[in-house]
Structure 1
Amino acid sequence: MNPNAVRSFVDARLEGYLAELKGLVEHESPSGDKPRLDALAGKIAARWGGLGGVVERVANEGGGDHLVGRFPGPAGERPALVVGHFDTVWPVGTIDRMPFRRDGGRLRGPGVYDMKASLVLVAAAFEAFAALGLAPRRPVTVVFTSDEEVGSTTSRGLIEALARESAHALVLEPPLADGSLKTARKGVGRFAVEVEGRAAHAGVAPELGASAVVELAHQILKIHALNDPAAGTTVNVGTVAGGTTPNVVPARAWAQVDARAVTAAGAEALEVAMAGLAAVTPGTRVKVAGGFNRPAMERTPAIAALFERARGVGEALGLALTEGATGGGSDGNFTAAAGAPTLDGLGALGGGAHADDEHVLVDTIPERAALLAALLMEI
C-alpha cells in the first residue's frame, strides 16, 4: 500500500471536502438544541450510509440523538473505535457574526476546529478506501455524539460500552497546539459548595446572625490549599455568590469548583477532601455535592505502545508524530478508563477552540485524513 495514496486522493478532491465542511459548520448545532442536533444527525447518518456503514441512530430524549456507524472488516477481529462529537459550544446565530470563510490557509467558523472538520476526515478516509481498493485492518465503529461539550452525560454509557468491545480507540478531537497527539488527559471534576448560615439585621442585631459569606471565604481558602501543581492536581473556585442585601447578615452562599487530576488516585483524594469540608463559623453548615465526571486518561503501557505504532505509521506518511498531555477532558477519558488503549488529538490542526479565532489549517485536512486511514489499515 502506498501510504500517501489517500493523501493524494483527498488533495485532488479538497475543494469538495471544504464545501462539505462549510455545510456542516453552517448547520449550527449547539449542545442541548435537539431539533438542530437531530437534523444534523440525519445528514451525517445519510453520509455514513453512503460510505458503506450500517448506521444506528441512538435515541436521546435528553438532547440530540447519538450516531454509531459500523463499517465491515475481517471477521473475528475486534473493531477499532473512532470517536467524535457534532455538538458545539456556539449558540444559534453565531454563524452570522463568524461566517465560514477561507482566510489564506485557514478556514474559520464556529465549530470548524472543535470538531466538524473531523466529520470530513471520516468521510474522506472511507471514500478513499472504496476508490483505491483499500480496506481497514479490522472492522471500524464510528461514534459521534451530541453532548460532549456539556459533559457527555447522556452518551457516556454508550461510549464506554463501545470501548469495552473495541481493540483501541482513535479520538478525533483537535491535537495539541504543535500537532502532537494526546496520550494523557486529566480527569475532570465539578463540585458545588453550599453554605447555610443564619440571617439577622446587620445594623440592629448582627450578633444574632451567622454569615454564610464569611464561612464560604474560609472554605474557599481550604479548597485553594488542595492545589498541588507538581502532582498535576488543580482546583479552581470559579464562581461564588451569596447574600441578599447589604444590611442582612447572609444566610446562604455558594460556590462552583472545577477540579483536575492526572490519576484516578489523585481524583479520589480530591473527592475525599471535598467531602470532608466542615464549617468553622459557629451557626453555619457546609454541604458539598458533585465529583469527577471524567476519569483521568492515564498514559498506560498499552497507550504508550499504541502511540509507538502510530508513530511508525506516521513516518511512512512523512509525519514526525509527537505526543503530549493536556488538562482538558474529552470522551477519550472514557474510552481509556473503559480499557481501550486510546490515542486522542487526531483531528486537523488549527486553533481557537471555543474562541472567536477558531480555525482549521487547510493543508492539514488531507494529512490527517491520510493518517486516520493509515491507522485504520495498519493497526
Structure 2
Amino acid sequence: MTHEVNDEAGETLARLERLARIESPSFDAGASERMTSLLAEWWDAAGADVRIETSEAGANLVADLEGVGEPLLLVGHSDTVWPHGAIEDQVPWSVDGDTVRGPGVYDMKSGLLVMLAAAERLRGRPHRSVRVVIVCDEEVGSPTTQALLLSCADGVSGAIGFESPHPDGALKVGRRGSTRVGLTVRGRASHAALDPDGGISAIDELVDQLVAVRGIVADASQHSEVLCNVGTIAGGGRANVVPAEAEAEIGLRFLDGQTEHAVLEALRTLSPVRSGAVVETTLRSHRPAWSPSAADGDLLSAIAAAGARVGQTVTGRPASGAGDTNLLGSLGIPTVDGFGPRGGGAHAVDERVSLRSLGERIDLLTAVLGGPELAAIAPRAPHTPHAGD
C-alpha cells in the first residue's frame, strides 16, 4: 500500500498544479470550460458516466459512478476568487515540504482531487454509488447552478461538500444562511438652497431605512442571532443637489430558517418615511440557513465510523460561512461539508493546503465509499421550500 500511496501522492500533486494553473475566476466561461474539460477527462478515465452542463456562468461537471445503493452526492466548485495572473504575483505556485501554495489550492481545487483519487482507488472494487457535481459559480452564490444542484440531489442518500474544513480538521455540519439584499431608494432632485422643500432626499430616506433595518435585525436577534453588514452605500452627486437616488447592499447571516423568513419578509415590506419616496428591496443572492438535523448527525456518525477504520478521528460542528451545501442541507438531505483537506488562507494571499491532509482525506473518502457504514443512511426526498426559503 505504501508505494501505491506515494505514486498517487505525486500524481495528485501534479494534477493540483495543473488545476491551479488553469486560473478560473467566477463568470469566466472560457476558463471554466478548460477546467471542466480536464476534470471530465479524468473522471471518464476513472470509469464514470460524465456529462457537461453549461450555464450562463460557464461549464459544470456531472459524473456518475455505478455502485451499491442510492448514490451519495459529492459537491464541489471549479471557480475561485482570484483574477487571471494571480499565480504569477499574488499567490505564486510553490511546494515547501508539506505546504502547497497557489490560487484556489485550498478553496477548493484540492477538494476536487480528493473525490477523484478516492474514485480511482475504488475502481473494480465494491463501493457506494456516487454522483459528482462540480459547479462553476459557487464563489458568487451559485446564481446559475442552483437548479442543477437540485436536480443532481434527486434520489441521493446524502451529500458531502468538499469545501475546506474547520481549522482543526473538523467537518462542517450546519451553516448560517447567507443573503445579499439590495435596498434602493428613489426621491426627487431639487436645488438644495433655492428649492430645498421641492426635493425628496433619497440619501436621507436610505439612512432612515437602514435604521429601520437595524431595528428589525435587533428584534430578531433576541431569539436567534442575525449578523447584518451594510457592505456598500452609494447615492447623490453634488452637495448643492438634493439626491434623487441612493442604494445600499446588505449582507445577512441566519442560524435558522424561521428567523431568516421573518427578517426577509420584514425587509420586503419596508415602507417610505417620506411622502413621495419609493423604497425597493431586491434579493440579490440567497443561500438558505442549514440547521443541523438528526439525519446530518447520522451521516457524520457513518463518516466517523469509517474514519476509525483507517485510524482517523472525525468530528463535526456548525460553520459560519455559507456554500452550496446550505441548499441541500436545508432541504432535509443528510449533509456534511468541509471534506476538503486542511490548510488556510482562503481568499487570501497566503492560501495554502497540506499535502499530508490531502492524503488523509483521500483515505477517509475511500473508507466512506468502500465501507458498510452508509448502508444505514436512507435516501430522503427533499422538501419543497416555502416562500421564505
TM-score range, shorter chain: over 0.9
**Which letter maps to 1:164?**
D
TM-score (normalised: structure 1): 0.93
Distance 2:194 2:350 in 1: 54
Distance 2:241 2:72 in 1: 60
* Superposed displacement of residue 164, structure 1: 2.4
- Equivalent positions of 1:2-81 (< 5 A) are 9-60=4-55, 62-74=56-68, 77-81=69-73
- Cα 1:201–1:159 shift into 2, 3 Å: same
- Cα 1:232–1:315 shift into 2, 3 Å: farther
Structure 1 partner of 2:173: 183
* Superposed displacement of residue 291, structure 1: 6.6
Distance 2:307 2:222 in 1: 33
Does structure 2 conserve the Cα–Cα contact (< 8 Å) formed by 1:164 and 1:340?
no
Structure 2 partner of 1:135: 126
- Equivalent positions of 1:159-170 (< 5 A) are 159-170=149-160
Deviations 1:297-345 (A, max 9, x none): 1211101111112122222222221212122111111222333200100
SS of alignment partner, residue 330 of structure 1 = coil
Structure 1 partner of 2:136: 146
Residues 1:284 and 2:277 aligned together: yes
**Which letter maps to 2:146?**
R
Structure 2 partner of 1:271: 264
Structure 2 partner of 1:251: 244
Amino-acid identity (%)? 37
Does structure 2 conserve the Cα–Cα contact (< 8 Å) formed by 1:83 and 1:170?
yes
**Which letter maps to 1:111?**
G
- Equivalent positions of 1:1-379 (< 5 A) are 9-60=4-55, 62-74=56-68, 77-97=69-89, 98-130=91-123, 134-136=125-127, 138-225=128-215, 226-227=217-218, 228=221, 231-290=224-283, 293-378=286-371, 379=374
* Superposed displacement of residue 221, structure 1: 1.5
Distance 1:112 1:299 in 2: 28
Does structure 2 conserve the Cα–Cα contact (< 8 Å) formed by 1:106 and 1:360?
yes
* Superposed displacement of residue 187, structure 1: 1.4
Greater Cα offset, 222-231 or 265-274: 222-231
**Which letter maps to 1:89?**
V
Distance 1:12 1:231 in 2: 50
**Which letter maps to 1:135?**
P
* Superposed displacement of residue 265, structure 1: 0.9
Does structure 2 conserve the Cα–Cα contact (< 8 Å) formed by 1:147 and 1:155?
yes
* Superposed displacement of residue 194, structure 1: 0.9
SS of alignment partner, residue 43 of structure 2 = helix
Does structure 1 conserve the Cα–Cα contact (< 8 Å) formed by 2:122 and 2:370?
no
Distance 1:229 1:46 in 2: 52
Please report the RMSD computed on the Cα atoms of aligned residues, expressed in angstroms: 1.7
Number of residue pairs the alignment of both structures matches: 368
Distance 1:127 1:282 in 2: 66
Greater Cα offset, 109-118 or 189-198: 189-198
Distance 1:268 1:119 in 2: 33
- Cα 1:184–1:278 shift into 2, 3 Å: same
Deviations 1:217-261 (A, max 9, x none): 111122123142861322221100111111101111110111111
